[in-house]
Structure 1
Amino acid sequence: MATATQPVGSAGAAGGTAPGDVPGTHLTGRLGVFSLIFIVVAAAAPLTVIGGNVALTVASGNGVGAPTGFLIIAIVLFLFSVGYVTMTPHVKEPGAYYAYIRQAFGQHAGTSAAFLAFVTYTALGIGIYGFFGGSTAAFVESFGGPALPWWLYAVIAWIVVTVLGCFSIDFSSKLLGVLMLFEIGIVLVLDAAVLFKGGAEGITFSTFAPEHVFQPTIGVAILFALTGCIGFEATAVFRDEAKNPDRTIPRATYGAVLLIGIYYAVSSWLLVLAWGPSRAVEEATNNSGGFMLDAMQMYAGTTMRHIMDVFLVTSLFACVLSLHNIATRYQFTLASEKYLPAIFTRVHPRFGSPWTSSLGQSAIALVGIIVFAFLDVDPLVNIFGAMAGVATTGFLILLITTSLSAWWFFRGNPGLEKNVWKSRILPLVAALLLLACLAIAYANFGLITAAPAAVSLVLALVPLATVVFGFWFSSRAQKGLR
């Protein structure tokens, strides 16, 4: 087990060379708290979650008690963040999951986590390309435009993301900040309209009553709430590009959890009230696609509905750009540790971006788009569902292992943090709660993927197979250096 005085990138890594040891392979930047929050919250696609996940939860989960799923997940992720943030000053390398897990459990475990994170965010990015293409095609057709294939819009988004990925992360963070403010702002307009007009049946807190919350299907609510939070922890991925990371990363992590949790819980509650507790489940079941949009039209008018339509598309674009940036940096980390070709460690001399890793990530995404286009499957149900299944389980495995890393690290270095709650108790509690969430995810895996049982089984095994591969590959690479 590594100690606090042992550099994270020291001998024991494949090659034993930290990224910064080679000129032109070290990332730099000036990302502040809000810039980091913009990046990670954009990855959660908050407008899309309110428009999609909430309707599905109301229809298939615990009905009008759906907002509690977001509150539960916000609490769990906050508990996770305590150990994560407490350990941050002792992890001096970017890579988030990779760096934290390696610091506690060694090189092979860290490498395994890096590969799993890379697969998780890459898979979800491909899924969002499908979601974006399908949603944009439907949006254009709804305004009388031509019926074009989803993959055409996906490729257009891919071109823009590929170009932006080569520029400074500061530029992307500003763009994501603008898009995020638009998508959050439009939902706040709906929230305010529902509050002002009193909802369909009055402003009531009955949706939080135990009989609505604690139903057999509450696991579905927790699952869909969880899928809306993927990426919140990625603040640490940008450690080298943040100013004063020991303060910026903790603040951004807590800020992202609080923003996502409060925003999701309040907005989903008000969306239920927009239809009324007695009608919401029926409406979500029969009109899941229009659950939010029709509510906007009822309470704020047709123009605001059209604006929300536009922001749904930009929300998905912001999401795929953010996921691209996160996956790119995991690829950069793996290449820096010599588990991927060295060409992916190059940093742009002008923009300071990991541009070759960005292009590599774009190449993978393009292959995914082409494969799914040839398979001629539904971009929303089949592409996004399949990739979201892989990403959700991969995300949970990483969170569990990272929580255990914080607990194990401080167990072996008790003098580094005197607060036992922050260093030992809460990380272990978070790991147990997240393990329960993983069990829920696997129990409802077919609900996420919307795929046949055989296909769902294969997809469910992808994260586990990646973990095994990471251990094997790291061990093999280390033996090759002896």
Structure 2
Amino acid sequence: MAIDDPIRTDGIADGGAPAAPKKSLRGNLGVASIVFMVVAAASPLGVIGGPVPLGIAIGNGSGFPATFIVATVVLLLFAIGFTTMTPFVPSAGAFYSYVHKGLGRSAGLGTGFAALLSYLTLEAAVYGLLGPGVNALLGSYGVPSVPWWIYAAVAFVVVLFLGYRNIELSGRVLGVLLIAEVAIVVVLDAVIVFSGGGPEGLSTGIVTPSAILSGAPGLGILFAILSFIGFEATAVFRDEARDPDRTIPRATYLSLVLIGVFYAVSSWALISAVGDSTVVKTATDHGGTLLADVTQRYLGTVGEHIIQVLFVTSLFACILSFHNIVSRYLFTLSGKNVLPERLSIPHPRFGSPHRASVATGAVVAVLLIVAAITGLDPINQFYTWLAGFSSVGVVLLLVVTSVSVLVFFARRRQPASRWKTIVAPVLGLAGLLFFLVLILLNLPTLVGGSLPLAIGIVALLLIAFGLGPVVARTRKKIDLD
């Protein structure tokens, strides 16, 4: 359906019979638009200013950039099988559609519920960074400090408005914000590199085995994987893609390569600006201001202010991207009779999942209200706990999807490249299982040292997966095809 195709709103088909509600979204997204959406979800500037200093401080120090290279290779191996299976998965449900095709309806439903929880928690979590970020930005201009949730509420309203409208409006907004935040970091990287680095020159940690394996490389991998969350959501936009069988694979590969290269180079440049021997202490003592401090040194006060503004817009872009992803999960699951069917009716004018968008916003609003009422620290508690939940959930989803890809092609026995259907997926699965073990071992650290909270996160995800068989048995009209 073209983007300007009319949708009848009188409920009457041309022949006079009641027309069924349209259940497909409309759009004309190309590779670039989907890449903008996915890379914006990864929040490039937000990662350089947040997880990167953490990965340096409590991970593997000057060797941390190498973890992005490792993560990129493993995720590219996963993507080979994932995209090879794309032509056989006509639904826009991403993870759960792929798992349904390979492992059956019960596993597919469980995956869908786990994906909803993982993305919802991450969308809400980033508000915990955005609120304080806006406070700090405006505070630098003399604006009095206010509770963080006030700025989060303002951003929430804007996200809900954009999510209600056509996806291409969100795509244009994200495109502008993404270009701006990437551009300023690329300029900073170039100035650092062409000036020869900081007091110790350019960092060699990225290619030094002893540096890569120093400290806690497991935690380094954990923060690297957390920085990639959202890349797999290219398949969520299938119904709105111009040519999904070609657009989705290209967008997936391009997103992964761009994200991986950007993170590896930018984190290496940041370390170079500080120095290999002092970067761990600097990131530990001044992690929250590390990016701003380096920017001020190399780009001056104007550059520092630009970075502060774009850091906030980067977090906003991340929230908007995940809001769009979750809304489409809800929309598609509702159209399959898994959730209330009324959520699967697109807007008659915008062709957007407006009802699913509002429902997504309602859940996020509840989480924000609870955080505000209970007085949770927006970063150390609200963000950290929810991001920890999301990181475990997404890696679990990647593992299950990898298994599904292998099972699907094993059953089809059709002529196909063994590299794409067996070798690459197996290697990717092995890497993902390794990452999962590292994340589970370090999960208590990620959620503030609370073992009960870490256990609760895993238990809640297992319950979500377990709902799949229950719902599959109780709702017989479900059709995930």
TM-score under structure 1 length normalisation: 0.93
With 260-269 and 336-345 compared, the bigger mean Cα shift is at 336-345
Would the aligned equivalents of 1:67 and 1:268 in 2 still touch at CA under 8 Å? yes
CA distance in 1, matches of 2:408, 2:299: 52
Q: Which residue of 1 aligns with 2:264?
A: 265
Q: Which residue of 2 aligns with 1:463?
A: 461
With 265-274 and 22-31 compared, the bigger mean Cα shift is at 22-31
Q: Which residue of 2 aligns with 1:396?
A: 395
Over the aligned positions, Cα root-mean-square deviation in angstroms equals: 1.5
CA distance in 2, matches of 1:280, 1:319: 27
CA distance in 2, matches of 1:454, 1:90: 41
Matched, 1:144 2:142: yes
Q: Which residue of 2 aligns with 1:240?
A: 239
Shift of 1:475: 2.3
Shift of 1:368: 0.8
Q: Deviations over 1:420-469 (max 9, x none)?
A: 01101211221121011111111111222225322232123221221112
Question: Structure 1 236/291 Cα, relative in aligned 2: closer, same or farther at 3 Å?
Answer: same
Amino acid at match of 1:146: P
Amino acid at match of 1:377: L
Amino acid at match of 1:126: A
Aligned length in residues: 460
SS of 2:405's equivalent? helix
Q: Which residue of 2 aligns with 1:8?
A: none
SS of 1:287's equivalent? helix
Match of 1:47 among 9, 20, 45: 45
SS of 1:301's equivalent? helix
CA distance in 2, matches of 1:452, 1:112: 27
Q: Deviations over 1:119-140 (max 9, x none)?
A: 1100101101121112212222
Matched, 1:443 2:432: no
Q: Deviations over 1:381-405 (max 9, x none)?
A: 1011111111101101110111111
CA distance in 1, matches of 2:476, 2:446: 37
Question: Could you tell me the percent identity over the aligned residues?
Answer: 42
Would the aligned equivalents of 1:328 and 1:358 in 2 still touch at CA under 8 Å? yes
Would the aligned equivalents of 1:93 and 1:99 in 2 still touch at CA under 8 Å? yes
Shift of 1:207: 3.6
Q: Which residue of 1 aligns with 2:354?
A: 355
Shift of 1:378: 0.7
CA distance in 2, matches of 1:384, 1:206: 30
Q: Which residue of 1 aligns with 2:375?
A: 376
Q: Deviations over 1:134-160 (max 9, x none)?
A: 221222223221110011011100100
Moved over 3 A (4+): none
Q: Which residue of 1 aligns with 2:283?
A: 284
Would the aligned equivalents of 1:407 and 1:423 in 2 still touch at CA under 8 Å? yes
With 448-457 and 253-262 compared, the bigger mean Cα shift is at 448-457
Q: Which residue of 2 aligns with 1:191?
A: 189
Would the aligned equivalents of 1:389 and 1:460 in 2 still touch at CA under 8 Å? no
With 173-182 and 451-460 compared, the bigger mean Cα shift is at 451-460
SS of 2:315's equivalent? helix
Q: Deviations over 1:295-318 (max 9, x none)?
A: 011111011001000000000000
CA distance in 2, matches of 1:247, 1:454: 45
Amino acid at match of 1:326: I
Would the aligned equivalents of 2:131 and 2:150 in 1 still touch at CA under 8 Å? yes
Amino acid at match of 1:268: S
Shift of 1:204: 4.2
CA distance in 1, matches of 2:136, 2:299: 22
TM-score under structure 2 length normalisation: 0.93
Q: Structure 1 unaligned runs (5+)?
A: 1-20
Q: Which residue of 1 aligns with 2:13?
A: none
Q: Which residue of 2 aligns with 1:218?
A: 217
CA distance in 2, matches of 1:464, 1:337: 22
CA distance in 2, matches of 1:297, 1:314: 19
Question: Structure 1 306/364 Cα, relative in aligned 2: closer, same or farther at 3 Å?
Answer: same
Would the aligned equivalents of 1:108 and 1:474 in 2 still touch at CA under 8 Å? yes
